Amino acid sequence: MEILVILVPLALMLGGAGLVAFLWSLRSGQYDDLDGAAWRAIADDEPPQEAPLKR
Amino acid sequence: MQVTRDFSHYVRDADEGLRHIDLAVEGVHCAGCMAKIERGLSAIPDVTLARVNLTDRRVALEWKAGTLDPGRFIDRLEELGYKAYPFETESAEVAEVAASRFLLRCLGVAAFATMNVMMLSIPVWSGNVSDMLPEQRDFFHWLSALIALPAAAYAGQPFFRSAWRALSAKTTNMDVPISIGVILALGMSVVETIHHAEHAYFDAAIMLLTFLLVGRFLDQNMRRRTRAVAGNLAALKAETAAKLIGPDEISQVPVAAINPGDIVLLRPGERCAVDGTVIEGRSEIDQSLITGETLYVTAEQGTAVYAGSMNISGSLRVRVSAASEATLLAEITRLLDNALQARSRYMRLADRASRLYAPVVHATALLTILGWVVAGASWHDAIVTGVAVLIITCPCALGLAIPTVQTVASGAMFKAGVLLNAGDAIERLAEADHVIFDKTGTLTLPDLQVMNAANIPADVFELAGRLALSSHHPVAAAVAQAAGAKSPILSAVEEAGQGVRATVDGLELRLGRPSFCGAEALVGSAALDPEASVVAFSKGSDRFILSVRQGLRPDAKAVIAALKARDIGIEILSGDREPAVKAAAQALDIPEWRAGVTPADKIARVEELKRRGTKVLMVGDGMNDAPSLAAAHVSMSPISAAHLSQATADLVFLGRPLAPVVSAIDASRKALHLMRQNLWLAIGYNVLAVPVAISGVVTPLIAAAAMSGSSILVMLNSLRARSASREIV
């Protein structure tokens, strides 16, 4: 059961990391526009710049 | 005359030499729009940020200070096909956003704690029935306390604060039993842990907070969203005025920056944004938004004009008066205040439920403790059982029952083109059994339509449309729109108050008053609708007559029939003249109608229906409707309505069809049904669980399972509100 000494703090640290990540994402405004974020994921990238024609 | 646009009112400083402006944008609804707008604006040099918020339909822009005029962004968006308006965030909205974020942070903390405490609780539950050592159990309980206590202290703040406010005001609310339950459960668990007991309720207490925070957050988020909608509506009203800043120089400024005594210029085709008196010029004005009267009124020196009037033919200079001097507005405002006070007495379903809840629960817990002591149990065991009753009855499902349905239903209504302006609108709309429609702008479309386009040769009509593009007159705009004209005739000249003329291929074209086109004879002979405005078009020696009027909304008849099929009473109350109202009522088959009704009369009618126990839904758009919109049980306005009406209405619907009225009624009825069902589910759960708790056999495992089970059941049931039917007949 000594393994608990490692496992319990480890589990709490992982959970705490998740919480910090959530608070960070909240602070950086990632939940401000949920509808837009859904669309952005499937939006096309910028069209590639057309190379000037050379002859 | 030189025109400048002044946006300085809206621009604010961002960090390091950057300037920031928020624009509300109409018509953004997909990824394509977002990409188009962001690319289009980023292409302007010196723009450092252009980001669309699709949820709120806004664009945030930042650029290097001193290099760009914000008007350019609006022009650029106009080129891309979007109408944009500078936007000022109201302080109320800022507060809502902050509250929403705080709740989300609390929810994050509570959810983190719940998951970790649960990770520690499950070994204890399984250990209690197998071979766990008491020392190990205590260690796990202490660890749980270490996580749960600080988390509850932080995430419980919304409840504790609200409960404290209620208690210091010597009242009670839903948060009082919640706070008492959580604090007692945690306190008892600490005491039990100190005494090496088998059961601790850290998991139940923190899980309760998590579920309740989900409900709170959904509720707050809906409020934030309705506030954002209201803010955008205010911005889309384009409340700017052309202020004279020199004898020959005008600046387009926001109304907020205009003071009494300023002089503003009102050009033909513009809607007046201020109250004032005409000091120069002569024109016809359309006051239909204010009085419902569709006939134009002549305005000349000394005539009072009110915000919302449309200037039709000539330019006017208006001296701005203080709002209080405007008798009509003052009257409407007074009626509005009275009506709003009456409405705030409405008690929401959730409040009614919670008012019953607290005394029942606390009495049950107290009786449980006393009952066990009388039956011979120790005080310790009796109190533990009493706290278990408090935990098991904590209104987890009750707290979710209404916000989840509201969130889902408001999403469904949003898709049907209805925006909520008030949080409790769904409940009140569901109860409506009588609809009062205003005529002008509500049953009819707000813009004018050409009624006899079919009688005119297509090429002539197109030419008339192109010529009409050169005029600001609303009738001309209607002709241009009906003809689908795109390219104006460049040589066209507008003669104020008369019409437009141009010469194309040697032929003179004229569009305007019949006298201007030499077509008086035609007007006399043609049997035209008495309500329509007549405009003439001449091409060389050919003369044509166009009849322009407000048409009924395309689906008005079907909507009225659908409402009748739902056994909802219908009537028309209009400030317009009798023949016009009568014609509309007959076309729509509405037997009950009144014409020439004043705002006070409208309220009187609403009150009369109220006394008879009828729940009235008022649908109107004019300023004269605003007081009755507030007086009615629930109210709706089209997006084209006067600002005051829109701010007063509980719901706002978009687009040309009237169908959203029926969709909204259907969706809200379904939602109310689901809310009631959810409340019954929550009560049913309590009826099953409370006897178990009173009997003293509840373990933390049973508490956790019952709590999450009932909450999930309620949430799943709420999702059924999503499938609001779109069919109206």
Pair B479, B535: CB distance under 8 Å: yes
Residue B26, in any domain of the structure: yes
A42 falls within a domain: no
How many domains, chain B? 2
- Residue B305: other Cβ atoms inside 10 A: 24
Q: What is the spatial distance between Cα A55 and Cα A53, in angstroms, rounded to a whole number?
A: 7
**Inter-chain contact A33–B55, Cβ cutoff 8 Å?**
yes
- Pairwise CA distance, residues B263 & B272, whole Å: 12
**Regarding beta strands B493-495 and B499-504, do their DSSP bridges make them parallel or antiparallel, or are they unpaired?**
antiparallel
Cβ-Cβ pairs closer than 8 A, A with B, add up to 55
Quick one: which of B657, B290, B633, B270 has its CA closest to B442?
Answer: B657
Integer Cα distance of B419 and B651 in angstroms: 6
Residue B330 scores a pLDDT above 70: no
**Angle B163-B168-B173 (CA atoms, 0-180°, nearest 5)?**
35
Catalytic pick from B22, B175, B219, B438?
A: B438
Give me the helix-helix angle, B134-155 and B175-194, nearest 10°: 150
Cβ(B611)–Cβ(B342) below 8 Å = no
Any idea which of B392-401, B405-414, B705-714 has the lowest mean pLDDT?
A: B392-401
Judging contacts by C-beta atoms under 8 Å, the chain A residues touching residue B34 are 36, 39-40, 43
Chosen from A33, A34, A42, A44 to mutate, greatest number of chain B CBs within 10 A:
A33
Q: Is the residue at A18 inside a domain?
A: yes
> Looking at B431-445, B478-492, B524-538, B600-614, which range is the least confident one?
B524-538
pLDDT band at B106 (very low <50, low <70, confident <90, very high): very high
Calculate the alpha carbon distances from B434 to B418, B422, B566, B623 in Å: 19, 20, 10, 21
Contact A40 B30 (CB under 8 A): no
- Best B52, B89, B112, B220 member to test A by mutation, with max A CBs in 10 Å, is B112
Name which of A8, A19, A46 is nearest B112 (Cβ-Cβ): A19
Contacts of B110 in chain A (CB under 8 A): none
Concatenating the DSSP letter of every residue in B28-50 gives: --SHHHHHHHHHHHHTSTTEEEE
Q: Please report whether residue A43 resides in a domain.
A: no
Average pLDDT for residues A36-54, to the nearest whole number? 65
Task: State the nearest Cα–Cα gap between B119 and chain A, in angstroms.
Answer: 9
- State the Cα–Cα distance between residues B586 and B584, nearest whole angstrom: 5
Query: What six digits make up the tokens of B111?
Result: 């959810």
Among the partner-chain residues B30, B119, B139, the one whose CB lies closest to the CB of A11 is B119
Say whether pLDDT at B342 is over 70: no
Which one of A8, A31, A40 has the shortest CB-CB distance to B31?
A40
CA B25 to chain centre: 16
Residues on chain A touching B120 (C-beta within 8 angstroms): 8
In a domain, B64, yes or no: yes
From B459, B458, B460, B469, select the one nearest B538 (Cα to Cα).
B460
CB atoms A22 and B108 under 8 Å: yes
**Nearest of A49, A26, A47, A19 to residue B115 by alpha carbon:** A19
With 0-12 CB in 10 A as exposed, 13-18 as middle and 19+ as buried, what is B48? middle
Give the model's pLDDT for residue B729.
42
Q: pLDDT digits over B149-199, tens only?
A: 999 999 999 999 988 998 898 877 778 888 888 998 899 999 989 998 888
Q: Nearest residue of B to residue A19 by CA position? A: B112
| Alpha helical stretches, state H, B129-195 | 134-155, 157-168, 175-194
Chain A contact for B136, CB < 8 A?
yes
Residue B35 predicted with pLDDT over 90: no
Distance CA B442, CA B615 (A): 20
Q: Are B21 and B44 in contact (CB under 8 A)?
A: no
Restricting to B residues 72-91, those with a Cβ less than 8 Å away from any Cβ of A are: none
Q: What is the pLDDT of residue A54?
A: 45
Of A11, A33, A46, the CB nearest to B53: A33
| pLDDT score recorded for residue B1 | 47
Quick one: pLDDT at residue B617? Answer: 92
> Could you tell me which residues are beta bridge partners of residue B543?
B538
> Rounded mean pLDDT of B334-343?
59
Count the domains in chain A: 1
Record: contact B54-A35, CB cut-off 8 A: yes
A interface toward B at CB cutoff 8 Å?
A: 1, 4, 8, 11-12, 15-16, 18-19, 22-23, 26, 31-36, 39-40, 42-44, 46
B628 lies in some domain: no
Active site includes B381?
Answer: no
CA distance B637 to chain A (A): 26
Torsion angle of the four alpha carbons B483, B485, B488, B489, in this order, in degrees rounded to the nearest 10: -50
Amino acid at B219: D
Domain boundary among B505, B528, B550: B550
In a domain, B55, yes or no: yes
Q: For residue B451, what pLDDT is reported?
A: 76
Instruction: Look up residue B491 and give its two tokens.
Output: 């040589």
User: Which residues of chain A neighbour B104 with C-beta distances below 8 Å?
Assistant: 26, 31
CA distance B660 to B648: 18
In DSSP terms, B312 is beta-bridged to none
Interchain CB distance below 8 Å, B116 and A8: no
pLDDT of residue B3 exceeding 70: no
Nearest in space to B682 (alpha carbons), one of B487, B457, B397: B397
The per-residue pLDDT for range B644-676, each reduced to its tens digit, is 777 778 888 888 888 889 989 998 999 999 988
Tell me how close the Cα of A53 comes to any Cα of chain B, in angstroms: 23
Q: Where a domain ends, among B550, B573, B598?
A: B550
The sign of the dihedral angle between the CA atoms of B128, B134, B135, B141 is: positive
Q: Which helix (H) or strand (E) holds B471?
A: none
Look at residue B377 in the predicted model and tell me its pLDDT.
Answer: 83
Average pLDDT, chain B: 81
Measured CA to CA, the distance from residue B681 to residue B399 in angstroms comes to 12
With a cut of 80, say whether residue B76 has pLDDT above it: yes
The answer to whether B143 contacts chain A (CB < 8 Å) is yes
DSSP for B335-400?
HHHHHHHHHTT---HHHHHHHHHHHHHHHHHHHHHHHHHHTT--HHHHHHHHHHHHHHHS-HHHHH
Q: Give me the mean pLDDT over the B561-578 stretch.
A: 88
- Four-residue CA torsion sign, B620, B621, B626, B630: positive
Looking at residue A48, what is its pLDDT? Answer: 54
B chain contacts of residue A34, beta-carbon cutoff 8 Å: 55
Interface of B with A in 321-380 (CB under 8 A): none
Please report whether residue A1 resides in a domain: yes
Instruction: Round to whole Å and give the CA distance between B461 and B640.
Output: 27
Distance of CA B21 to the CA centre of its chain: 23
Range among B89-93, B526-530, B717-721 with highest mean pLDDT value: B717-721
More confident residue, B394 or B578: B578
pTM over 0.90: no
B63: domain CATH number is 3.30.70.100
Contact residues on chain B for A44, CB-CB shorter than 8 A: 35
B115 contacts on A by Cβ (under 8 Å): 15
Q: Is the pLDDT of residue B221 over 90?
A: no
pLDDT in tens, B304-317: 887 777 887 778 88
Q: Which of B89, B109, B76 is nearest to B12 (CA)?
A: B89
Q: Which two tokens stand for residue A52?
A: 């000037």
Touching check for B525 and chain A: CB below 8 Å? no
B275/B325 Cα distance (integer angstroms): 9
Q: What is the pLDDT of residue B396?
A: 75
Helix (H, G, I), strand (E, B) or coil at B6: coil
Confidence of residue B329 (pLDDT cuts 50, 70, 90): low
Higher pLDDT, residue B616 or B72: B616
Nearest to A34 among B52, B55, B143 (CB): B55
Domain extent for B66: 1-87
Query: In this complex, do B101 and A26 lie within 8 Å of one another by their Cβ atoms?
Result: yes
Q: Which amino acid is at B571?
A: E
Residue B237 pLDDT: 56
Q: Do A40 and B105 touch (CB under 8 A)?
A: no
Query: DSSP letter at B276?
Result: E
Q: Specify whether the CB–CB gap between B626 and B642 falls below 8 A.
A: yes
Q: Is residue A4 part of a domain?
A: yes
Whether residue A40 is contained in a domain is answered as: no
Helices B91-128 and A4-27: angle between axes, nearest 10 degrees: 160
- CB of B105 less than 8 A from some CB of A: yes
Q: In this structure, what token pair is assigned to residue B216? A: 């709170």
Which of B519, B550, B581 is the last residue before a domain boundary? Answer: B550
Structure-token match 């059941």, residue found:
B713
Provide the pLDDT for residue B530: 61
- Among B215-229, B453-467, B555-569, top mean pLDDT goes to B555-569
CA-based nearest residue in chain A for residue B35: A43
Q: Which domain holds residue A4?
A: 1-28
Question: Looking at chain A, which residue has its C-alpha nearest residue B133?
Answer: A1
Residue B152 belongs to some domain of the structure: no
Q: What is the CATH number of the domain that holds B505?
A: 3.40.1110.10
Q: Please, how many CA atoms are within 13 Å of residue B95, restricted to the half-sphere of its CB?
A: 3
Ramachandran quadrant class, B196 (left: phi over 0; alpha: psi -120 to 50; beta: rest): left
Task: Examine residue B603 and state whether it is found in any structural domain, yes or no.
Answer: no
Please check whether residue B94 touches A, CB under 8 A.
Answer: no
Tell me what pLDDT residue B338 has. 62
- Within 10 angstroms of residue B493's Cβ, the number of other Cβ atoms is 11
Give the Cα separation of B646 and B237 in Å (integer): 10
- Give the Cα separation of A42 and A35 in Å (integer): 12
- Residue B56 maps to a domain: yes
Indicate if the pLDDT at residue B682 is higher than 50. Answer: yes
C-alpha dist (Å) from residue B239 to B257, B308, B622, B623, B682? 11, 10, 17, 15, 48
Q: Which of B52, B120, B139 sits opposite A36 (nearest CB)?
A: B52
**B203 at interface of A, judged by CB pairs closer than 8 A:** no
pLDDT value, residue B142: 92
Q: Is the pLDDT at B289 greater than 80, yes or no?
A: no
Whole-number pLDDT of residue B103: 93
Q: Is B53 on the interface with A (CB under 8 A)?
A: yes
